[in-house]
Structure 1
């Protein structure tokens, strides 16, 4: 008979489907893996990811900021992160690309501390 501890499963899940931590000054903001989001937020993220950012009239910054708000572990964390980024679309794009790489690989990218 095989037996396993639920804490062992949780630890393995965290290693495989963990979050991306973004350091913002003295604060840390966690961007959760889509599989760890509640269903409603996961569905919202899928809708946001299906938006054609190259379409005429698409507001890339608004879509990416909304995606960050969707995956951030707290509303306050999203506000801190987006406040630090400001209107820099290039930083938003790079951040979301890093988030995508870290969640597609199945490995969490934690902070470098």
Structure 2
């Protein structure tokens, strides 16, 4: 029978479900993997993603709201959004990279 410490399991979870980190000057903004978010935030993120595909959806507003949900700290989300300054292409690129970084974790979790 195999035995694992909780610290070993936590390290494996961190490696597998790590954040998407964006360097912003001297600071790093961490966008947390959805599996590392509280349930209420995961639900809100899922609802936002559903709204993004809707006709007439304000993509800038929705992507900004999503960043606020997944950022490790509210001030970090504000810093990132201020630096992006409403550039929808940059917001879309952030979420493209975020999505690619979280796909493995989401697929693995749904298979469990």
TM-score by length of 2: 0.89
* Structure 1 ranges of 4+ moved more than 6 A: none
Instruction: Output the aligned Cα RMSD.
Output: 1.1
Q: Contact conserved, 2:31 with 2:71, CA < 8 A, in 1?
A: yes
Task: Find the counterpart in structure 2 of residue 8 from structure 1.
Answer: 8
Query: Which whole-Å CA distance do the structure 2 matches of 1:105 and 1:40 have between them?
Result: 21
Secondary structure of the residue aligned to 1:18 is coil
Task: Find the counterpart in structure 2 of residue 67 from structure 1.
Answer: 66
Q: Structure 1, residues 77-109: CA drift from partner, whole Å, max 9, x if none?
A: 000000000010000001011100001033xxx
Q: Contact conserved, 1:53 with 1:59, CA < 8 A, in 2?
A: no
Structure scoring higher RCO (CA < 8 A, sep ≥ 6) equals 1
Structure 2, unaligned runs of 5 or more: 106-112
TM-score by length of 1: 0.88
Query: Which whole-Å CA distance do the structure 2 matches of 1:69 and 1:52 have between them?
Result: 15
Q: Contact conserved, 1:19 with 1:31, CA < 8 A, in 2?
A: yes
Q: How many residues align?
A: 105
Structure 1, unaligned runs of 5 or more: 107-113
Q: Contact conserved, 1:53 with 1:60, CA < 8 A, in 2?
A: no
- Larger helix proportion of the pair: 2
Task: Find the counterpart in structure 2 of residue 88 from structure 1.
Answer: 87
